[in-house]
Chains A and B, each alone.
Chain A
Amino acid sequence: MMQTGRLFQGGIEHPHIGSALGYLRGPRGDVPPHVLLPRPIGRTGGNLPHGQTAGYLGKPHDPFVLNADPSDPQFKVPDLAPPDYISTVRAERRQRLRDAVDAGVRKFEASSAAQQMDENFSLAYRLMSSTAARQAFELDQEPAPLRDRYGRTRFGQSCLLARRLIERGVRFVTINMFETVFDEITWDIHGSRPFTDISEMSRLVAPNFDQAYAALLEDLQQRGMLANTMVLAMGEFGRTPKINPAGGRDHHPGVWTIVLGGGPIRGGRIIGESDEQGAYPKTRPVSPAEVAATIYHGLGLDPHLELPGPQNRPIPLVDYNVQPIKELF
């Protein structure tokens, strides 16, 4: 919901904000416009989460998914560089031969999955032929002290990689701190296995986040990038104000906090507040759609711009009656 500005309903797959951006502005250079690190959110109970793809904008605008762990000492984007026996000439020849296989093209005209397959080969080819694109992912070019500063965790190194990618032309990077809540220490502090304990959150999860997030903001600032890079830390709901019998906190969609900054956002302020219990908003409630409108506005896009939805029905990025959070600009 937070990644599209809309709740998933009626079977309609709205696009991730990053994919909408990529759709509207296209790639900058050889790198994909929207990158997802390190992997999509997977099992969290119920269905696989929606809102991580380009939805009705079409698979060509799906994020480029890393599918590797940047904190792995052997980290590299799998198969990004051609082997030594595939020269540039040879790679080109293969592409041209592959493109020449088209007598069956009519069978795939109505198949979006097939279009996607070809798009992927084009994108793969562009990526592997571009030194700039490959270098963007070469995390080992970053100095070790800086890598330490972010923390040698999956999240920490993903944040560093994100900064590196933004620096080299990627327009939008989504970093998933976790891919599942089962059998892993995460923010899902229900208090008993396979979920997480409150003490583990305070001991492991929060410090991990703090270190990486602070490093990211500092790093962006030092490079003069913070002025035109928005950074958002968000989740899909909060936790119950009351501790449950297992000693944890359950899901609570009543109220929660997100953190925004960078780019045109005026930082150093608090918008809205919850009641004393932390149960629901007391003043200035903010909806997910408003957050989406804020992001689009911050990117210089009209939040009510219409995109072709399913069957070409025009759908605005954000519903017409929703405005960006004006207190932030």
Chain B
Amino acid sequence: MIPALCWLLPLMLTPPAEGDGPSFVHEVLPILTKAGCNSGACHGALAGKGGLKLSLRGYDPDADHHVLTRQNLGRRVDLAAPEQSLVILKATGAIKHGGGQRLVPGSADATRLLQWLAAGAPGPRTGERALTRIEVEPVQTLAKLEQKVALRVTAHYSTGPSRDVTRWAKFTSTDDLVATIDDDGVATVKGHGEAGLAVWFNNQVALATVVAPYPYPEVSAQAYPRHNFIDDHVNQKLAQLRLPASPPSSDREFIRRVFLDATGTLPRPEQVAAFLADTRPDKRAHLIEQLLASPEFVDYWTSKWSDLFLVSTAKLPQQAVWAFHRYLRRSVAQNKPWDQLAREILTASGSNLEQGQANYFVLHQEVAQLAEATSVTFLGMSITCARCHNHPLEKWTQDQYWSFANLFSRVSLKTGERAGEVWVQPRPDGDVMHQRRGVPMPPTPLDGTPLALTAPEDRRVAFAQWLTRPDNPYFAKAIINRVWKNYLGRGLIEAEDDVRQTNPPSNPALLSALEEDFVKQGYDLRRLMRLILNSAVYQRSSIALPENATDERYYSRYLPRRLSAEVILDAYSQITGVPTPFTEVHAGNTGGISQTADYPLGTRALQLPDAKVVSRFLDAFGRPARELACACERDQEASVRQALHLSNGQTLNEKLRAPNSVAARWVEEKLSDEEVIERSFMLALARPPSDAERQRFLTQLTQAKDAPRRELIEDVLWAVLTSREFLFNH
């Protein structure tokens, strides 16, 4: 028998949101959410639990109200004897409940739930005020280790007074090593640095930050070197954290670094010598200009954008790959403004062989997939979670997802007459249905203005306009972040396709300043790169000070990173003088290989348009498959497989052994041991060997007098070409 419980209705602890009885939307659902009732582990799961299915974290109040009060003959609520309602008995653990006790009997929340039942368990009211935003305080706190910071969350509504909703908000830290936060919103500082404290309440998110400076002397931002406005913001953050910066890089370090980061190639020894001998005070700026204007720069960035836009015969016919690649290459060569590129791609019409950018629609034919790919590619955001329910980490709702998707539902594709040809056109009709509601949603670019379902204009045009508006909060940031990451080794937002409110940039002021400049100056990528490369932060040494050795976030030093697969392979070809043949392509899904004559000998890896060109080397070193619009596809990790391939595999060994290899020439030229060593270091590392290195190398060579000269020279080259210093940019 259900035990009889006596409940005294205590004084109201919180005034009702409005009108008669507690608000289902603003009070009851938050109580259930905070108690975990509708979490993904319990009744919010796709299948619900114990026969009760609620929407995940209350994103569907109408359905939830129906389920709680009407479903199963309304057995969950007892309006005549509210305290006997199943919903309260289970939640307080008065009767057996798989989820245990979620609300303490007599607590404020349990009492409020009871009051709601006593008021007749009202549902969402027509004309009820809406939650417009939440605010968290303190927004930023400068703190010491072990200090506690209590957050306060205020909900603002379309009308009426705001409310303190701290008690029902959910809290997470972006970095538990810097600060942890408990369920009551109290954060404890655990380490030095900066942590974001994300707050979620009723499908709204907000962010507070806590900054715990390092235990070093106070320092002014002016004490750090400054070349342009980028440094102002970087230095501000370093000063706030009291993180000392490493000194500037040497000229020798700089030339190798900037060649690799901007063009994916190594400087030749004579270029290094000329740069070192150059006495102009602005020689670095000149070098940067020279690189930005070089054909290798165009190859490098064409390859990067080909990664982003998934240029590959995996899903595109060969001719289409050529067309798309040609389009991207032309765009880079012309320094096409990024907003123009985006508009051209997103509104492409015509033959995919003439309008290479139209292949974007050939690649993404399913509406939801096209919407998701577009979001990642141009906004740096993953909205996939919101396909089925409100995004648990972001503010995007399922309704917004499907409204967004409906922007992409009117693209028609028709096979053309030529091989590989597809005609891409907008259609006058067609809608995608909301997965749950089963109806088409007015096409809406995320938090932009909805279009009428019946509007005849090309919806893609409306989206492209919203995307490239100067005040679009995501578009410029996303591309700036990608470019920044290429040069600095770590995005201002990490990962570059994980932009969300609860994943803040490590330096919001810097990102905003870059965005303002970028938009004002016409989305000019070369200009952005020029600013970055000329900044003091980019030019810092990679040698860590003891104080900044653990910093990987605030750019107190240049972060060494492994060269990408294509760059390493091309460098090997360049130094040995033996190009890599690309004569095979993976064909079809079943692992077949076919021959190709499309890539004459001398084609560099960075010039390959197609990710399906066979290369075990590129695969071992993490070349992306270009099947998923995710930066995670490129694997920059070191692996034993790579070490084995360099040691025993054919790629490097065959280049060293080839009859036309540099090793052959040096044998012919009868170079001395010293000369071989010197030249190897200069070619690979842009520096001469140190005395100690020279000595050790000479010792090894002297001890191996019996070995063939050719082999010894190959071994010296192998050693520098597989060294860390070669394989990394630093």
Identify the A interface with B (CB < 8 A).
9-12, 32, 43, 45-48, 59, 64-65, 67, 77-83, 85-86, 89-91, 93-94, 96-98, 100-104, 106-111, 113-114, 116-118, 120-121, 123-125, 127-128, 240-242, 250-254, 279-280, 310-311, 313
B719 sits at the interface (CB 8 A): yes
On whether the beta carbons of A100 and B648 are closer than 8 Å, the reply is no
Select A97's contact among B647, B648, B715, beta carbons within 8 Å.
B715
Please tell me if the beta carbons of B643 and A121 are within 8 angstroms of each other in the complex: yes
Name which of B228-236, B397-405, B602-610, B690-698 contacts chain A.
B690-698
Q: Which residue of B has the minimal Cβ distance to A10?
A: B176
CB-defined contacts of A116 to chain B, threshold 8 Å: 637-638
CA–CA, A12 and B195, complex, Å: 14
B177 touches A310 (CB 8 A): yes
Contact among A77, A85, A101, A113 for B720, CB-based, below 8 A: A101
Q: Are A78 and B644 CB-contacts (below 8 A) given A90-B715, A121-B722, A254-B45?
A: yes
B206: min CB distance to chain A, Å: 19
Q: Are B719 and A47 neighbours in the complex by a CB distance under 8 Å?
A: no
A100-B700, A242-B47 known; A65+B562 contact, CB < 8 A: no
A325 to nearest B CB, angstroms?
21
Is the beta-carbon distance between B693 and A100 smaller than 8 angstroms?
yes
Give chain B nearest CB distance to A145 CB in angstroms. Answer: 27
20 contacts between A and B (CB under 8 A): A11-B176, A11-B177, A45-B384, A59-B638, A67-B620, A77-B644, A78-B649, A79-B645, A82-B648, A86-B648, A94-B719, A109-B544, A111-B542, A117-B724, A120-B640, A123-B640, A125-B647, A252-B47, A280-B49, A311-B191
Q: Is the CB of A280 within 8 A of B544?
A: no
Give A209 to B28 CA distance when docked, in angstroms: 47
**In-complex Cβ contact of A117 among B559, B653, B727 (8 A):** B727
Q: Is the CB of A81 within 8 A of B648?
A: yes
Q: In the complex the two chains form, is A128's CB within 8 Å of B693's CB?
A: no
Residue from A110, A118, A120 in contact with B642 in the complex, judged by beta carbons closer than 8 Å: A120
Please tell me if the beta carbons of A107 and B47 are within 8 angstroms of each other in the complex. Answer: no
Whether, in the assembled complex, B561 has its beta carbon less than 8 Å from a beta carbon of chain A, the answer is yes
Top 7 A-B residue pairs of the complex, sorted by shortest distance between their CB atoms:
A10-B176, A97-B719, A124-B643, A110-B544, A100-B696, A103-B690, A101-B723
| Chain B residues positioned under 8 Å from A77 (CB to CB) | 644
Contacts A93-B707, A116-B638, A118-B724 supplied; 13 other A-B pairs, CB < 8 Å = A11-B176, A12-B177, A78-B645, A97-B696, A98-B723, A101-B685, A101-B720, A107-B541, A107-B725, A113-B561, A113-B728, A120-B643, A252-B45
Closest chain A CB from B390 CB (angstroms): 16
Are A46 and B648 neighbours in the complex by a CB distance under 8 Å?
Answer: no
- CB of B693 within 8 A of CB of A103, answer yes
- B64 CB → nearest A CB, Å: 20
- Determine how close the nearest CB of chain A comes to the CB of B127; give it in whole angstroms: 35
Counting chain B CB atoms within 10 Å of each CB, the highest count among A47, A94, A250 belongs to A94
Q: What's the Cα separation between A311 and B552 when bound, in Å?
A: 13
Find chain A residues with CB under 8 A from B696 CB. 96-97, 100
Which of A12, A123, A254 has a CB less than 8 Å from the CB of B643?
A123
Mark B residues whose CB is within 8 Å of A: 40-41, 45-47, 49-50, 98, 172-177, 180, 191, 384-385, 541-544, 549-550, 557, 559-562, 616, 620, 628, 632, 636-645, 647-650, 653, 657, 685, 687, 689-690, 692-693, 696-697, 700, 704, 707, 711, 715-716, 718-720, 722-725, 727-728, 730
Q: In the bound complex, do residue A110 and residue B550 qualify as a contact, i.e. CB atoms below 8 Å apart?
A: yes
Asked if A117 meets B725 with Cβ closer than 8 Å, knowing A102-B693, A240-B47, the reply is no
**Pick from B47, B384, B692: contact of A241, CB under 8 Å:** B47
Q: Are A78 and B616 in contact (CB under 8 A)?
A: yes
- For the complex, what is the distance from the CA of A107 to the CA of B724, rounded to whole Å? 10
> Which residues on B sit within 8 Å (CB–CB) of A64?
640
* A90 neighbours in B (Cβ, 8 Å): 707, 711, 715
The answer to whether A120 touches B45, judged by C-beta atoms less than 8 angstroms apart, is no
**From residue A190, how far is it (CB to closest CB) to chain B in Å?**
11
Known: A12-B176, A311-B177. A240 touches B700 (CB 8 A): no
User: CB-CB < 8 A to B722: which residues of A?
Assistant: 98, 121
A10 touches B173 (CB 8 A): yes
Closest to A281 in B: B98
Nearest chain B CB to A191's CB is how many angstroms away? 13
List, in ascending order, chain B residues with CB within 8 A of A109's CB: 544, 549
Q: Contacts of B620 on A, CB cut-off 8 Å?
A: 67, 78
Tell me, in angstroms, the Cα distance from A100 to B173 when the chains sit together: 44
- Residues on A with C-beta less than 8 A from B693 are 100-103
Q: How far is the CA of A103 from the CA of B681 in the complex (A)?
A: 11
**Nearest chain A CB to B508's CB is how many angstroms away?**
19
Please measure, in the bound complex, the distance between the C-alpha atom of A251 and the C-alpha atom of B40, giving whole angstroms.
11
Contact of B718 among A46, A94, A127 (CB under 8 A): A94
Minimum C-beta distance from B49 to chain A (A): 7
Q: Which partner residue on chain A sits nearest B644 by CB separation?
A: A79
* CB atoms of A93 and B704 under 8 A apart: yes
Which residue of chain A has its CB nearest to the CB of B99?
Answer: A280
CB distance from A237 to the nearest CB of B (A): 10
Question: Per a CB cutoff under 8 Å, which of A10, A117, A251 touches B180?
Answer: A10
Is B642 in contact with A46, judged by CB distance below 8 angstroms? no
A41 to chain B, nearest CB (A): 13
CA distance A114 to B638 in the complex (A): 8
- On chain B, the residues within 8 Å of A85 by CB distance are 653, 657
Distance of B184 from chain A, by nearest CB (Å): 17
A121 and B697 alpha carbons, distance in the complex (Å): 19
Q: How far is the CA of A59 from the CA of B544 in the complex (A)?
A: 20
In the complex with contacts A11-B176, A113-B562, A82-B41 CB distance below 8 A: no
**Chain A CB within 10 Å — which of B46, B640, B647, B725 has the most?**
B640
Whether A104 pairs with B49 at a CB distance below 8 angstroms is: no
Measured between beta carbons, the chain A residues less than 8 angstroms from B41 are: 253
For B715, the chain A residues whose CB sits under 8 A away are 90, 93-94, 97
A1 CB, min distance to chain B CBs, angstroms: 12
A65-B641, A252-B47 given as contacts; is B700 within 8 A of A97 (CB)?
Answer: yes
Residues of A within 8 A of B653 (CB): 83, 85-86
Distance in angstroms between the alpha carbons of A81 and B173 in the assembled complex:
48
| Chain A CB within 10 A, most for which of B173, B645, B716, B728 | B728
A48 CB, nearest partner CB in chain B, Å: 6
Complex formed: what's the CA distance from A268 to B317 in Å? 56
B219 to chain A, nearest CB (A): 20
Q: Which residues of chain A have C-beta atoms less than 8 A from B730's C-beta?
A: 104, 107-108
- Which A residues are in CB contact (< 8 Å) with B716? 97
Question: Are B728 and A114 in touch, CB under 8 angstroms?
Answer: yes
Tell me the bound Cα distance from A123 to B725 in angstroms: 19
Chain B proximity of A201: nearest CB distance (Å)? 18
Give B194 Cβ to nearest chain A Cβ, in Å: 13
Q: B641: which A residues are within 8 A, CB to CB?
A: 65, 67, 78-79
In the bound complex, CA of A310 to CA of B550 (Å): 11
Bound Cα distance A231, B98 (Å): 31
Residue of A nearest to B727 (CB): A117
- B719 and A279: CB pair below 8 A? no
Q: Which residue of A lies closest to B549 (CB)?
A: A110
In the assembled complex, the Cα of A126 lies from the Cα of B542 at a distance in Å of 30
Which residues on B sit within 8 Å (CB–CB) of A107?
541-543, 560, 725, 730
Give the CA-CA distance A45 to B385 in the complex, in Å: 9
Bound state CA distance, A67 and B696, in angstroms? 36
Q: Could you say which residues of chain B place their CB within 8 Å of the CB of A110?
A: 544, 549-550, 557
**Which residues in A have their C-beta under 8 angstroms from that of B643?**
117, 120-121, 123-125
B47 near A98: Cβ-Cβ < 8 Å: no
Chain A residues near B543 (CB, 8 Å)? 106-107
A11 touches B174 (CB 8 A): yes
**Whole-angstrom CA separation of A43 from B627 in the bound complex:** 11
Contact yes or no, A127 B560, CB < 8 A: no
Chain B residues within 8 Å of A120, by CB: 638-640, 642-643
Query: Quick one: which of A82, A111, A240 contacts B46, CB cutoff 8 A?
Result: A240
Is A48 in contact with B46, judged by CB distance below 8 angstroms? no
Task: State in angstroms the CA–CA spacing of A12 and B174 once bound together.
Answer: 10
Question: In the complex, which residues of chain A have a beta carbon less than 8 angstroms from the beta carbon of B561?
Answer: 113
Nearest-CB residue, chain B, relative to A242: B47
